[in-house]
Copies of this chain bind each other. A is one copy, B any other.
């Protein structure tokens, strides 16, 4: 049954939930704060995983797996870390029918348990760098659930590396940030602003946190990936030391970094429209759907034979699906696949078969301009070209939207107006007081201090004192 989607302009939050549920990406679980990722949503996650994992491996990282449970005492070893995570912890107190001597924390992130192992494994500079990533579930207690965006349990990857020098660790931090940027822009079609977090917004336990920030369809920001320079904080807490080439005992320098199933929420909110999802071809579980159209049995036989022929040819290169459901009209099917965000539809009727052609319908363009007829023999090339064009266009549309809704206020009054309608890029003096006052007044936070700056000094948009860098201010998920 077709589900009704609340228009985004009426209620963005309901629009989001309607799209996620109607497209069967995810569902609420009967466990407070948790979600079920349904097959269509999980297939999208698998494509995200593949694209990221390939990039991690190409830069020398290896996957491993560390325990779900962390002894409470470990979490407490890094002071800022425990303070940051304490309110969000799920605690196991019974195991095998007995109360535990030491409670176990269900990992909210794995710095502590992983670094306890690194302390055992790292002895010499020859053991460095350690470049390990983990794909897993993590738990942070949430009272309010928003599918993919805020759930008690979510899936992610968390990279944890150890290096001989601060410079190498910082280079790794930024290498991963660049991988995230490249992934977001070129795979997910989401333009992002790579930048540094302010002191108050950084990861609990990091020296510096870096982020990629994206603008969602309601003009709020979403943090789509983070990469942290941890300095020697965890190395000192867990005693991760190595003998360097000069035979001196040194603490390692570390990073950690992650992208989660939140990325799916970002894809929905950046590209989706009132008809439902619009998925970037490179990540779409189904890139091409073939919808056969017929009125009588003779037409049906002709059309289905050709549709299956097309399916088998295109399936060698593309993720294709032939919608051969008997009881549904073509119109219902069009609507259904539009709602699920399939980038390209191939319509095939008896007349098309006679003419040796098919109709391509693009999900990314308005109805007036989204159809074209293509010779069946030329389909593989036409489909490739069209998918490439859709990928580029989704990115271009999102970039234009962000640019149209980014403002450059120089006075506080302008800033207040700007953050009510989009991103504000303004000079900030670096003071936590100015940052807090702006947040208190407007609910906008500093999303990041962009890596790209024009190098000229200016005046803080709040206090007017000298500022070296601009920051992005915005409301955020």
Contacts and interface: CB of A to CB of B under 8 A. Distances in A.
Interface of A: 27, 29-31, 34-39, 41-43, 45-46, 62-71, 74, 86-97, 103-104, 106, 113, 116-117, 120, 126, 132, 136-137, 139, 141-143, 152-153, 155, 327
CB-CB nearest 8 A-B residue pairs: A96-B141, A39-B62, A91-B94, A34-B67, A37-B65, A95-B141, A93-B93, A29-B67
A302 B261 CA distance: 49
B93 A87 contact: no
Nearest to A94: B91
Contacts of A65: 36-37, 42, 45, 155
A113 B66 contact: no
A113 B39 contact: no
A91 B89 contact: no
A106 B105 CA distance: 12
A63 B71 CA distance: 31
A64 B92 contact: no
A39 B64 contact: yes
Nearest to A114: B36
Contacts of A31: 67, 69-71, 104, 113
Given A68-B153, A91-B94, A94-B91, A117 B27 contact: yes
A416 to B, nearest CB: 33
Contact of A38 (B64, B88, B143): B64
A283 to B, nearest CB: 15
B71 A30 contact: yes
A42 to B, nearest CB: 5
Nearest to A154: B65
